[in-house]
Chains A and B, each alone.
Chain A
Amino acid sequence: MLITDALIIKQEEIIPGFHRITLSAGEAAKNARPGQFLHVRCADTLDPLLRRPISIHAVDREKGEVSLFYRVVGRGTALLADREKGDRVNVLGPLGKGFTMPEGNGGVAVVAGGIGIAPLYFFLQELSVIKICANVFLGAATKKQLFFSGGIEALGHNVFPATDDGTAGYYGNVVELFAQNLSDSVYGCGPAGMLRSLCQTIKKYNIRGEVSLEERMGCGVGACLSCACKTVDEEGNYRYSRVCAEGPVFTAGEVVWE
């Protein structure tokens, strides 16, 4: 865990509104686990004030580089998108609890909705290091938002695209597509509605599953209790867990969808 002024190596606009920023951050690259995030100070201003939690998208440990894939949704991310190669950006992290790496021989699937591929790409990088080939269900509104399918295939995984408008792959919902091709364990990230339905599918077929959640954050280190998510434990006790500390990755059974 650390705070660093990371040098921007690259700032790419993948498609309008969706950016990938690559930072030189050796310590973060060394320590990061898939599913963790960096808490990013998008600009050195007091307005916008807060950091933005952005999940780690890819890591190059040899070069000491960390990439973040993010969507420009507000003033903070717009300021981040304006930062250029050679600038420095203050980041805190890696933070949070990541995905559990699969063990044994069971089949592994990944289900991503749109920008939800961001943390899962790093997970897929790590899977290919341990020689596990996953079925990757990539969902998006439309073809051009099916991100990094070439890169994922190059890592040795199988890509199953699904689009809401039928412009590529399966015409319809990515969770439906996954339900037709179940595996022993599944890892998901995407919009709340998609994750909710993925968690229902996981429960219905009694398979192992983990999902990465998003929530507005304050401190990012577990102190302010802003990024609460309702969870239930094995004894049936409800509580608010901290997405930044107990998450952002939760087991599918823990998350209470309201």
Chain B
Amino acid sequence: MIPQNVGVINETKSKLAVKIGGIAMKNPVATASGTFGFGSEYAPYIDLNQLGALVVKGITLQPRAGNPTPRLVETAAGVLNSIGLQNPGVERFIGELLPGLACFDLPVIVNIAGDTVQDYGRLAARLDRVSGVAGLEVNISCPNVKKGGMQFGSDPDMAAEVTRAVKAGTDKTVIVKLSPNVTSIEAVAEKVASAGADALSMINTLLGMAIDVKSRRPVLGNVLGGLSGPAVKPVAVRAVWQVYRETGLPIIGMGGIITAEDAIEFILAGATAIAVGTANFVNPQATMDVLSGIKQYIIENDVQDINELVGAAHR
């Protein structure tokens, strides 16, 4: 009786395996950078080994203090944040944080951000030599920093230049994270693809702001922030849908995923994997709930391999 059950579970597992460039994920569920710290914060709530991939908080060459407060404000079915890439810098990440993840059986993807094209190249080269890093997610879409960030992601040629610099620095899988704050996300995606990106992730947050009507001042310390949560999901699904049509690259889809249904919507739009972000704040076990819902969906719908569903809404 027991071996039979194990067999069923293993079968379901293999049906869930996906690949993002050279990264083999045992299932399509990843964490969205910036919402999951460095993983250890959530270890008391979930078994990290069950995740398809862990995408850590954005890392820069030098430590960053981050933006003034308030850094977060709740909006209708969403959240505006402006953290400002607070992080300990790449050296402390490698020396102090990454070793703690070695005991987990999951690919670690490092989100990298820079002020200049050279910064991205240096970060890629530094992390290329580090075992325990499966791939890099290139953050050219952070709306909350003065230099770099979204500036790179909103200009297709700049986005391509950053991609080339990262590719020149590493043989690891390079995933470029796209901004929705552009006129044509397909145009950016195409340039990034031809510059050698192995995969794309989308979307980063939508640029937004909130004003306190009592004080008559912007709520966030940094004035502008990035909108995430269920409010942005239709925008994100649209972006995945459009980019899937234009490039052949695998996509990690994200933006407001709360439930397994949300995740499947992204997969049907063209995402090979998905990332859970803001939902982690609401429910620290959101990734596991999404994963078990996906398993249930493929069993109920007699799906032989989750890859069959990728982009299925286009057919």
Contacts and interface: CB of A to CB of B under 8 A. Distances in A.
B42 A223 contact: yes
B35 A228 contact: no
B74 A51 contact: no
Contact of B71 (A51, A228, A239): A228
A124 interface: no
B71 A229 contact: no
Nearest to A47: B77
Given A3-B45, A224-B35, A240-B86, A49 B74 contact: yes
Contacts of B74: 48-50, 216
B265 to A, nearest CB: 15
Interface residues of A, number: 29
A170 B283 CA distance: 45
Contacts of A168: none
Contacts of B281: 49-51, 218-220, 224
Q: Summarize B's interface: helix, strand, loop or mixed.
A: loop
B96 interface: no
Contacts of A3: 45, 283-285
Interface stretch (B62-70, B132-140, B292-300, B304-312): B62-70
A226 B280 contact: no
B284 A219 contact: yes
Contacts of B77: 46-47, 49
B258 interface: yes
A61 B150 CA distance: 51
Contacts of A225: 57, 66, 71, 83, 86
B21 interface: no
A217 interface: yes
A50 B282 CA distance: 6
B36 interface: yes
The interface centre, meaning the residue of B70, B71, B77, B285 with most chain A CB atoms within 10 A of its CB, is: B71
B73 interface: yes
B162 to A, nearest CB: 24
Contacts of B284: 3, 92, 219, 221
A72 interface: no
B78 interface: yes
Contact of B37 (A92, A215, A224): A224
B81 A218 contact: yes
Interface in A223-258: 223-230, 238-240
Interface residues of B, number: 34
A204 to B, nearest CB: 26
A224 B34 contact: yes
A222 B281 CA distance: 10
A1 B81 contact: no
A218 B69 CA distance: 13
A92 B45 CA distance: 10
A221 B79 contact: no
B66 A228 contact: yes
A41 interface: yes
A222 B230 CA distance: 22
Contact of A226 (B71, B230, B283): B71
Contact of A223 (B37, B70, B81, B283): B37
Contact of B72 (A41, A51, A218, A222): A218
A224 B69 contact: no
A226 B81 contact: yes
B76 interface: yes
Given A47-B230, A51-B281, A221-B37, 8 more contacts: A1-B44, A3-B284, A3-B285, A218-B281, A221-B284, A225-B57, A226-B71, A228-B69
Interface of B: 34-37, 41-42, 44-45, 57, 65-66, 69-74, 76-79, 81, 83, 86, 229-230, 258, 278, 280-285
29 contacts: A3-B283, A47-B76, A47-B77, A49-B229, A49-B230, A51-B282, A92-B284, A216-B71, A216-B74, A217-B72, A218-B72, A218-B79, A218-B278, A219-B35, A219-B281, A219-B284, A221-B41, A222-B41, A223-B35, A223-B36, A223-B57, A224-B34, A224-B81, A225-B57, A225-B83, A226-B71, A239-B65, A240-B65, A240-B69
User: Which 10 A-B residue pairings sit nearest by Cβ, starting from the closest?
Assistant: A223-B37, A226-B72, A223-B41, A47-B77, A219-B281, A218-B281, A222-B41, A46-B230, A1-B44, A226-B71
